[in-house]
Amino acid sequence: MPDAPTARTRGDLCPGVLRPWPAEDGGLVRLRLIGGALESEQLQALSGVAARYGDGDVHLTARANLQVRGLPLVDGHLAGEVVDALVATGLLPHPTHELVRNVMLSPLSGVNGGVADLRDLARAYDELVCADPILAGLPGRFLTVLDDGRGDLQARTLDLGAMAVSESEVQLRAGSAGWGDVVDLDAAPARLVALAHEFLDRRGAGDAAAWHVDELDQPLLDGSRDVRTLRNAGPLPYGPFDGGVHVEVPDGVLTPTLTDALEGHLVVTPWNGVVVTA
């Protein structure tokens, strides 16, 4: 059973490029990756920004995003040239929605294993969210998790989600214990967006508004879990696999040397690693 709802007293303060966090070592910004995906050229460009303006490294997060630390702040904001440098990496495509683009995806989906390839689902959901001005009001901690059926992410705490049950179907999720309809892949993005709107309608207002689905008085979904979701692959091991390699990133710190060694299509994983494929 989920824990008792948390009584909120303020809005969330998750950092972004346009809302840096004033840490002791300087400004901290987070760049959100849909399903952890980016190209090596983008990572190298971000590493260059970190070297020029920050602490020199790129940092991984447990949600498979990237952070840069130690950036100079002026009245709580980044200087225009720093913002421009971060935008030039191509990792801030939707500034108005940067804080709400929180989508995790099984890192090897469509590459190796899994029941279904959910990469198109992840991209379509992100596009719908970013095209909707209302959804820019989602909390920065609101997380959507898409498990491709292998079960590597099925135990993650989430707000919304979907888990593949066949090559063409997923079961919808909302909150820690909420399971919904089994729907076609093509229908899933719009159904998830509808659930996001329902959350906003029910979360309350002001500083006391809920950050997470589990904090609502009533569940968004209360169906039965499909037995085909009862899989648990666990974290992806480091090392080579058929089609690529999962590179360990010690302490989640991508140094310039390690960044330069990563070439190709990359997927940041929630286990302090980066998947590299051609």
Domain span at residue 120 reads: 100-229
Instruction: Please check whether residue 197 lies inside any domain of the structure.
Output: yes
107 and 75 part of one domain: no
Is the model's pLDDT at 12 over the cut of 80? no
Is the model's pLDDT at 24 over the cut of 90? no
Predicted pLDDT of residue 2: 46
249 and 211 part of one domain: no
Helix axes 119-130 and 188-202, enclosed angle (nearest 10): 40
Among the residue ranges 102-111, 200-209, 246-255, the one predicted with the least confidence is 200-209
Predicted pLDDT of residue 207: 85
175 and 108 part of one domain: yes
Total structural domains within the chain: 2
112 and 192 part of one domain: yes
Tell me the average pLDDT across 77-81. Answer: 95
165 and 219 part of one domain: yes
Instruction: Please check whether residue 16 lies inside any domain of the structure.
Output: no
Predicted pLDDT of residue 8: 57
210 and 128 part of one domain: yes
**How does pLDDT run across 121-163, given as a tens digit for each residue?**
999 999 999 999 999 999 999 999 999 999 999 999 999 999 9
28 and 53 part of one domain: yes
Instruction: Please check whether residue 7 lies inside any domain of the structure.
Output: no
31 and 133 part of one domain: no
In the block, tokens 């909120």 appear at 8
pLDDT band at 219 (very low <50, low <70, confident <90, very high): very high
127 and 177 part of one domain: yes
Share of the chain above pLDDT 90, in %: 92
Residue where one domain finishes, among candidates 229, 249, 264: 229
Instruction: Please check whether residue 5 lies inside any domain of the structure.
Output: no
Tell me the average pLDDT across 26-31. Answer: 96
Is the model's pLDDT at 89 over the cut of 70? yes
Q: What angle do CA 10, 14, 18 make, to 5 degrees?
A: 115
Residues 162, 155 contacting (CB under 8 angstroms):
no
Predicted pLDDT of residue 178: 97
Residues 59, 40 contacting (CB under 8 angstroms):
no
The mean pLDDT of the chain is 95
111 and 219 part of one domain: yes
Number of CB atoms found within 10 A of residue 28's CB:
20
Instruction: Please check whether residue 30 lies inside any domain of the structure.
Output: yes
Instruction: Please check whether residue 216 lies inside any domain of the structure.
Output: yes
Predicted pLDDT of residue 1: 43
Predicted pLDDT of residue 179: 98
pLDDT band at 269 (very low <50, low <70, confident <90, very high): very high
User: Which CATH number fits the domain that encloses residue 187?
Assistant: 3.30.413.10
Instruction: Please check whether residue 15 lies inside any domain of the structure.
Output: no
Instruction: Please check whether residue 6 lies inside any domain of the structure.
Output: no
Nearest CA among 179, 270, 160, 158 for reference residue 228: 179
107 and 133 part of one domain: yes
147 and 168 part of one domain: yes
**Strands, E, within the chain: which ranges?**
21-23, 26-31, 37-39, 58-60, 66-71, 73-74, 77-78, 103-105, 144-147, 160-166, 169-174, 178-184, 239-241, 244-248, 253-254, 265-269, 273-277
